Amino acid sequence: MKQQPETAEQLRRKKLLWRANHRGMKELDLVIGSFARDNINMLDNKGLDDLETILGIADPVMLDMVNRKTAVPDELDNEVMRQIMSKRFTTKDYNK
């Protein structure tokens, strides 16, 4: 049986998931990648747009926000960012 081609939305989710797990900084791969793995299929179009915007933030800037060294700017204060920022990690998260 022939497999159905992926839809544009499925491809978008797959690309965002890959980008979330391959940021370039291991710390951000863990934080944003784990959020994406847990939530990518539950995000609506706005959530996907917000995640895409977050993935466009430079690593040093994003790391400072995640580490609470700088505040999240108003234009990035959305539900996806709040969920990412609320994530707390334990050593078991680093072994995934």
Report d(CA 18, CA 36) in Å as an integer. 9
Please report whether residue 53 resides in a domain: yes
Please report whether residue 30 resides in a domain: no
Give the pLDDT confidence score for residue 91 in this predicted structure.
Answer: 46
Average pLDDT over residues 26-32: 92
Tens-place pLDDT, residues 30-86? 999 999 999 999 999 999 999 999 999 999 999 999 999 999 999 999 999 999 999
Please report whether residue 57 resides in a domain: yes
Rounded to two decimals, the pTM is 0.85
Give the pLDDT confidence score for residue 3 in this predicted structure.
Answer: 77
The total number of structural domains that make up the chain: 1
Q: Which residues, other chains included, contact 7 with Cβ-Cβ below 8 Å and sequence gap of 6+?
A: none
Alpha carbon 17 to chain centroid, angstroms: 7
Please report whether residue 83 resides in a domain: yes
Please report whether residue 94 resides in a domain: no
Mapped onto helix, strand or coil, the DSSP state of residue 87 is: coil
Q: What single-letter DSSP state applies at residue 25?
A: S
Give the pLDDT confidence score for residue 4 in this predicted structure.
Answer: 81
70-88 burial, b at 16+ Cβ within 10 Å, e below that, comes to eebeeebebebbebbeeee
Give the pLDDT confidence score for residue 89 in this predicted structure.
Answer: 58
Q: Which residue range is the domain that position 67 belongs to?
A: 44-88
